[in-house]
Structure 1
Amino acid sequence: MGTQHRRSALLLTASVATIAALTACSGGSSGTVDDSFGFAIAEQEPDSPITVWVDASREPIAQAFEEDHPDIPIEIETYDGNAGGSDSFRTKIALFDQSGEGWPDVVFSTQTNDTSWAAQELNGAQPFAAPLNKGYFDQEFLDGFTTGALDPMTVDGTVYGLRNDLAPVVLWYDESLLNEFGYEVPETWEDYLALSDRLAAEHPGYILGTVGEAFTATYINYWGAAAPIFQLDGNTFSSDFSDENSQRMTELIDHMLDNGTLVQDSVFGAEFVTKYADKIVAMPGPVWFSGALFQNPDSLNTAAGRIGAANPLHWEGGEEVTGNVGGGVWYASSHSKNLDAVETFLEYAISSDRAVELASGLPAYDSAADQWLATQSESGYYVGDFAESVSTAASSVWSGWGFPSFSIEVSYANVVVPGLAAGKSLADLTAEWQEEMENQAQVQGYTVE
């Protein structure tokens, strides 16, 4: 492609002196910085294989790239994708930083907050994540992302990662069950709460969602309620469960746990499928539930013509905002010895027709998103205006949520999941949950407010 040929010429015609200077600093400290790309470039080996780390869900796109680009050697390695805030990405990179070698060329992470550490110098090594808008990628390509998609990966105006997909929360609903029971699609959190009481009384055993996953109550409920429990202002972290929106959401979750319309099962567990595949009346959740749950033959496998996506829930009279669950990020290694191949891979993974075909959720790249939405809408699977609701959600994600170098999922899994399982209410656990997050923030070097 044109961009690749231009970049090859740029790299291969660099003076021997410049390459030597850059190579000397590429293994450890940041040293001399190439003015074109904004980071110290390792000596390039255009024929060297690139190592790509992906989770199981992204392995197919890496394999498709390998098939479509036989001229580019690639080594695909699968890992947990840093799911649940496991910190496996940072832990592995720290080991390579210490040894001064072995870094992968490309990494996919499910966590949008990894930029907070990947853009910093750690252990005497230059930042793992390569700056992408300082000459490495064409600005025309970067401008193709949906507005705001790259914000979590941007530090002081420098883009350090490429968003794979957007994961705004919509309200999924089963039209056949709503019609059978005579219910309307809820539009607000208040409607949702009222529906829970009717459903519990009239059709016990049917549900409106789950809080059993580390991402559920956190990103879906609290973020979607504009509750300031996970905020970052510069280097200051704060968590406020006394805020009105926080309190209302805590009370809503406790109320629905009590009446049985919210459950504690994992959406990825076999028991959830067995017990609730035909009993989910409505459920707030990310757009990627479309492929991961509803159309997945190994999960809910819901028949066509039943499921719809409605606009996100919001507080009556409040901001019409929603939460966001993930939306993975691709990182290019600043240590790569084959930056041309890395660029080609990332453009393919983000914007190619195969990327659209293999996407389980809304792509972050505008042209790919348009194709994906059109395909979904034309498939006949969904009821209602699927594309309109998803587009509304994508532009409504609440901006008050923070992106520190740790994940809220860890504290939720450590404190809330076992606490609820032991019979405690969420209100009983919020003080301990907040303290756990504040301790994590202090360990990471943040000032806690």
Structure 2
Amino acid sequence: MSLERNVGLRPGPLRRAVAGAAVVVAAVLVAGCGGSSGGGTQAAGFTQAKQSTTKELTVWVDSSRQAAAAAYQKAHPDVKLDVVTYDGDANGSNFLQTKVQLFNRTGSGWPDVVWSTQANETAWAAKGDNKFTAPLNKGLVPDATLSGFAKGSLDTCTVDGTVYCLRNDLAQVVLWYDQPLMAQFGYTVPTTWEEYEALGKRVAAEHPGYNVGDIGDAFAPEIYFWASKCPVNTLTDATTLKVDSAAPECTRMASLLDTLHQAGSVTNTGVFSNDYAKSQASKTLMLPGPSWFGGALFKDTFKTPGGRIAAAPALHWAADKDQPVTGNVGGGTWLLSSHSTHLDLAVDFMTFVTTNDAYQVEQAPGYPAFSTAAQGWLKKQASSGYFAGDIGAPLVEAATRVWPGWGSPSFSQEKIWASTITPGVTAGKTITSLLPDWQTAITNYAKSNGYRIGQ
């Protein structure tokens, strides 16, 4: 089969592929024409396609992970690496799942390795008789490598004891703040949500226009409601989801956000929007957010000058002082296709991009899930001179405090928030008044995905 490939990498410079349907289809057709010819063997816990001896891989990434592919290509110039960019399933787009369903029907087209921003991909990708993801802990990835990931970081990749993906980074939520501005205004960094609310009221009154938080992004529930232990996404077993938006752990956070949004110190303009970057970034006094906010948001998007941004420990409710928890936003995953005809090479790629210092320490914007890489990454941040003070201690502490009660079902809470809460807030409604609508939307999504609603 001959078809000119118009996307990806050959040995040489990285070129970004457009995530449009025509480009993906072109990549799919070529990926289906690998160097093997049918057949398959039962090994490593699944039926493997006949393996090819050619050194080539098809890898799907989002634009932010092109650097990971480029780092691998530089270290392995003999590999023909074809890179296709797509949205990474950002905000729960389900692009990957839709394409995999197509590939399953046509019997070809699967990429070898896929990056996803979503921590819940295995909830669907590891299901059924024709699982998209290959089991990794049954002979493909050594136990010594798997044990090097931070405790609990592979939980979202694990189904019934089988590991189906490798975690790229942790995304534990801490409190980011502008240290010089806080000192200039004479404010003390809050440690509890109650203190945060009180300070937010002061900011609104004393320095109108300055922000202490944002509810306009689709991942807002993971920053605020996950950290509040709100039980709207709790898997009590593999097929049962608890959804209770009227619980006090939900209403207390909704009330706090409504108060500060109405006061004017919490915005509903998404932090990654052009409007925020132009008009509000320089007035961001505080921002609860994941570990990757430091590099990806403040440094790369806002272009905040060095020496300003600091990290404080994750906020907690005073009532939870003995067992403080926090939320988590993303911490993407790498998935290996069970249909790959280059399994050894694909495993090598996945291991490199998740564990090797060339990417995880030197280039990655977020806190690596691989423990030794995380240590190197923290040293890199400290020596960079960009941050105001040590961000390591708050991040290390928060990594152990992510509340385990927020599950990873096969649908996206981000997508639900964006379609239910965001339009209502934009129309002038309060989050508190929208909690019943949120409950209904989550319930409907859960049932349509085969979940039972439990107590």
The answer to whether the 8 Å contact 2:60/2:86 transfers is yes
Q: Deviations over 1:355-392 (max 9, x none)?
A: 12110010110111110001101222222331101101
Question: 1:431 aligns to what?
Answer: 436
Aligned match of 1:274 in 278, 293, 307? 278
> CA–CA distance in 1 between the matches of 2:379 and 2:397?
15
Q: 1:56: how far off? A: 0.3
The SS at the match of 1:302 is: coil
Aligned match of 1:233 in 231, 236, 240? 236
Aligned match of 2:400 in 395, 404, 409? 395
Question: 1:71 aligns to what?
Answer: 78
The answer to whether the 8 Å contact 2:294/2:309 transfers is no
The SS at the match of 1:397 is: coil
The SS at the match of 2:48 is: coil
Equivalences for residues 31-430 of structure 1 within 5 A: 33-34=42-43, 37-121=44-128, 126-216=130-220, 218-234=221-237, 235-296=239-300, 299-318=301-320, 319-355=323-359, 356-430=361-435
The one-letter amino acid of 1:97's match is N
The SS at the match of 1:357 is: coil
Two-structure CA RMSD over aligned residues (Å) = 1.3
The answer to whether the 8 Å contact 1:111/1:327 transfers is yes
The one-letter amino acid of 1:405's match is S
> CA–CA distance in 2 between the matches of 1:188 and 1:177?
20
Q: Deviations over 1:222-263 (max 9, x none)?
A: 001111121112211121112111110010011011100110
Q: Structure 1 residues 266 and 241 mapped into 2: Cα distance closer, same or farther (>3 Å)?
A: same
> CA–CA distance in 1 between the matches of 2:376 and 2:54?
33
Q: 1:314: how far off? A: 0.3
> CA–CA distance in 2 between the matches of 1:311 and 1:140?
31
Q: 1:295: how far off? A: 1.1
Q: 1:48: how far off? A: 5.0
Q: 1:268: how far off? A: 0.8
- Structure 1: 4+ residue segments shifted above 3 A: none
Q: Deviations over 1:88-123 (max 9, x none)?
A: 0100000001111111000000000110111012xx
Q: Deviations over 1:128-164 (max 9, x none)?
A: 1000001111110111101111011101110000000
Q: Size of the alignment, in residue pairs?
A: 414
The answer to whether the 8 Å contact 2:176/2:294 transfers is no
The SS at the match of 1:423 is: coil
The one-letter amino acid of 1:81's match is G
The answer to whether the 8 Å contact 1:48/1:337 transfers is no
The SS at the match of 1:278 is: helix
- Listed as ranges, the gaps of 5+ residues in structure 2 are 1-36
> CA–CA distance in 2 between the matches of 1:108 and 1:305?
32
The one-letter amino acid of 1:238's match is K
The SS at the match of 1:111 is: coil
- Listed as ranges, the gaps of 5+ residues in structure 1 are 1-21, 27-31
Equivalences for residues 14-29 of structure 1 within 5 A: 24=39
Q: Structure 1 residues 345 and 279 mapped into 2: Cα distance closer, same or farther (>3 Å)?
A: same
Using the size of structure 1 for normalisation, the TM-score is 0.90
> CA–CA distance in 1 between the matches of 2:165 and 2:383?
32
% identity of equivalent residues: 46
Question: 2:26 aligns to what?
Answer: none
Q: 1:400: how far off? A: 0.5
The answer to whether the 8 Å contact 2:245/2:438 transfers is no
> CA–CA distance in 1 between the matches of 2:243 and 2:139?
38
Q: Deviations over 1:385-424 (max 9, x none)?
A: 3110110111110000011000101111111111111111
The answer to whether the 8 Å contact 2:246/2:435 transfers is no
The SS at the match of 2:84 is: strand
> CA–CA distance in 2 between the matches of 1:419 and 1:61?
38
The SS at the match of 1:385 is: coil
> CA–CA distance in 2 between the matches of 1:287 and 1:137?
27
